[in-house]
Amino acid sequence: MNKICFLFFIFLFTGFSVSAQKNAQEIIKQRMASGEKTKKFVADGKVLFSKTEMPRIYADADYNLIWKDKKNRNDLIKNLKESFDEGLLPEDYHLKRIEELLNNSSYSKLKPQVAADVDMLMTDALLLYASHLVSGKVEQSQLHSEWDVERNSRPEKIDSLVSVTLKDHNLNAAFQSLKPQHYYYMLLRIKLKEYRDIEKNGGWKKIPEGETLKKGMKDGRILAVRDYLKIIKDLPDVQVENDSLFDEDLEKAVKKFQDRHNLTTDGVIGTGTLKQMNIPVEDRIDQIRINLERARWVMHHPEDNFLIVNIAGFYVKHFRNKEAIFTSKVIVGKYNKSTPIFKDTMEYIVLNPTWTLPYSIATHETLPRLKKDPGYLAAKHMVIMNRSGKILNPYKIDFHKYSTSNFPFIVRQEAGPWNALGQVKFIFPNKNSIYLHDTPSRSLFNREDRAFSHGCIRTEDKWGLLMNLMDDPKVWNMDKINEILATGKTTTINLPHPIPIYLLYFTAGIDTNSNIYFIKDVYKRDPDVLKALNTPVKFRSAR
């Protein structure tokens, strides 16, 4: 009798397990069918993120639970928690609710509906977190229309990838592969942890305002400066005879700090340097998170050879095999005429360029002057033409008849040292009509903030850039360049190898020596990115 009862209970237990699995399968199948019609897939009373991959994944699994394996569940939860280390919000990925549902009961004893809920939540979390790693959480083009970099495409056949990844217990490696593989991202991620550790240890104290501090001075505030520079590792943590003396070692540390913050490296702590030192650690952490997000937008598949213009940093760099082989200061667009963000390919260089004024400049800036004095054109080495390119006599044109919306002329500045483009321009054809060029206004490169142009990028070391790109010193040297300039003729030179160029905007980053640098947010774009980054993903209630 006991044996019969024992077998009966085994039958009941086995039957319950099969029934529970079958019921969960039916629930998921029903939800997928309903979601296909409404384009809304619901679990735990919430409309989920995924609308495309979710039904495919479960169809491939014949609508069975796909998170039955404990290692896969643990690996997913581990990676969702580690999204914090990427500067993201773990709670965007149903983390709290998944843990609640799994902790309320052992997985094998979950009721069919709860099992379906937690399974779909975990699948949705996987897809949403993967999406954020691949293309970022924030859609930058919705914040600023100047952003014109195509979003990273998602991997093909995601349903198959998920199936294989879970089957091979390979979630950790899969998530790692989705992150940008550029050293910039990986090192910036390390700095995020370092600065969070600084925050846990109390951050740094504010340095009081006062007179400018420089080498040789004694001041009670110098002790606070030393403490700060030691915390951020610009000054070695060693004992000195007089903590209140601004000595040579402190001056070197201040110069390093200034260099990392795009300040004049004079070793003097004036208003600008002190302001940067007094930015709280919490703000620096936010700055790192903002730029990790920007890196997710563009740094997944970096070329081995490319140019990058950091608009906020006012520089252009040429990278080859992860090494910066050329650097130059640049001048970028004013705040109200910002340089756009995009990627293109530099194809050729023009020596002795002419400058055809953009319509907005010709009508808003040149036309008012022509109404006062048609001789303005000759004074600026300019000519005026009709739309067919015929040069006209400005004294025979009544400019008072024309306005910003009615100006049927082309204004061109002739080649020469007076030309607004200087002696050379570097062309990457694009719809924005943006390029790199020389400028006769050389003194502006000495400014810390260099946002003065109408959008194009003025380059300080013009000939260094040309010779670097041509990469043939026997032919392309200053003798060759001067020979062409002396002709006065506009000359086009095709690059031997067209090169990708990125016009980007980063306010924090890492140099090749693993030093972090922070840059002024010249276009005031960081707050919008931070707000979007900190806004939790909203899952609508299905009820």
In single-letter form, the type of residue at position 67 comes to W
Tokens of 89: 């919000």
Tokens of 284: 């620096």
Q: Which residue segment(s) compose the domain that 316 sits in?
A: 303-354+415-506
Q: Which long-range contacts (CB under 8 A, 24 or more apart) does 382-388 make?
A: 382/357, 382/411, 382/412, 382/413, 382/414, 383/411, 383/412, 383/414, 384/409, 384/410, 384/411, 384/412, 385/409, 385/410, 385/411, 385/412, 386/410
Q: What is the pTM of this model?
A: 0.88
Longest dimension (CA), the chain: 120
Is 342 in the same domain as 362? no
Helix H or strand E encompassing 349: strand 342-351
* Strand order across the beta sheet in which 410-413 lies: 355-356, 410-413, 382-385, 391-392
Output the 3-class SS for 155-204.
CCCHHHHHHHHHHCCCHHHHHHHHCCCCHHHHHHHHHHHHHHHHHHCCCC
Domain membership flag for residue 121? yes
Last residue of a domain, one of 247, 279, 311: 279
CA distance 152 to 408: 42
In single-letter form, the type of residue at position 462 comes to K
CA distance 456 to 469: 19
CA distance 66 to 72: 9
CA distance 46 to 128: 14
Give the residues across from 398 on adjacent strands.
none
Domain membership flag for residue 260? yes
CA distance 520 to 527: 12
In single-letter form, the type of residue at position 532 comes to A
In single-letter form, the type of residue at position 482 comes to N
Is 345 in the same domain as 386? no
Question: Nearest to residue 92, comparing CAs of 101, 103, 102, 81?
Answer: 81
Is 381 in the same domain as 324? no
Residue 16 CB contacts under 8 Å (≥ 6 apart), including other chains: none
Helices assigned H by DSSP within 232-333: 248-260, 271-277, 281-298
pLDDT confidence of residue 149? 73
| Strands 451-453 and 491-504, sheet pairing | unpaired
Residue 352 gets the label, from left (phi > 0), alpha (psi -120 to 50) or beta, of left
Alpha-carbon distances of 15 from 12, 32, 60, 183, 306, rounded to whole Å: 5, 26, 25, 54, 63
**How many distinct structural domains can be found in the chain?**
4
Domain membership flag for residue 253? yes
Q: Quick: pLDDT tens for 284-305.
A: 999 999 999 999 998 887 788 9
Is 29 in the same domain as 103? yes
pLDDT confidence of residue 323? 86
Is 340 in the same domain as 481? yes
Is 253 in the same domain as 347? no
Domain membership flag for residue 198? no
CA distance 404 to 382: 19
Domain membership flag for residue 180? yes
Give the residues across from 516 on adjacent strands.
510
CA distance 270 to 210: 9
Last residue of a domain, one of 128, 150, 185: 185
CA distance 408 to 398: 12
Question: Nearest to residue 541, comparing CAs of 20, 48, 78?
Answer: 48
Is 216 in the same domain as 178? no
Domain membership flag for residue 536? no
Please list the pLDDT of the chain residue by residue as tens digits (543 residues): 444 443 333 333 333 344 444 699 999 999 999 999 998 999 999 999 999 999 999 999 999 999 999 999 999 999 999 999 999 999 999 999 999 999 987 898 999 999 999 999 999 999 999 999 999 999 877 777 666 677 777 777 787 889 899 999 999 999 999 999 888 899 999 999 999 999 999 999 999 999 999 999 999 999 999 999 999 999 999 888 888 999 999 999 999 999 999 999 999 999 999 999 999 999 999 999 999 999 999 888 778 899 999 999 999 999 998 888 999 999 999 988 899 999 999 999 999 999 999 999 999 999 999 999 999 999 999 999 999 999 999 999 999 999 999 999 999 999 988 999 999 999 999 998 899 999 998 999 999 899 999 899 999 999 999 999 999 999 999 999 999 999 999 999 999 999 999 999 999 988 878 899 999 999 999 999 999 999 999 998 876
CA distance 496 to 469: 8
Is 142 in the same domain as 249? no
Last residue of a domain, one of 158, 185, 212: 185
Domain membership flag for residue 286? no
CB 262 within 8 A of CB 519: yes
Domain membership flag for residue 379? yes
Is 28 in the same domain as 123? yes
pLDDT confidence of residue 15? 38
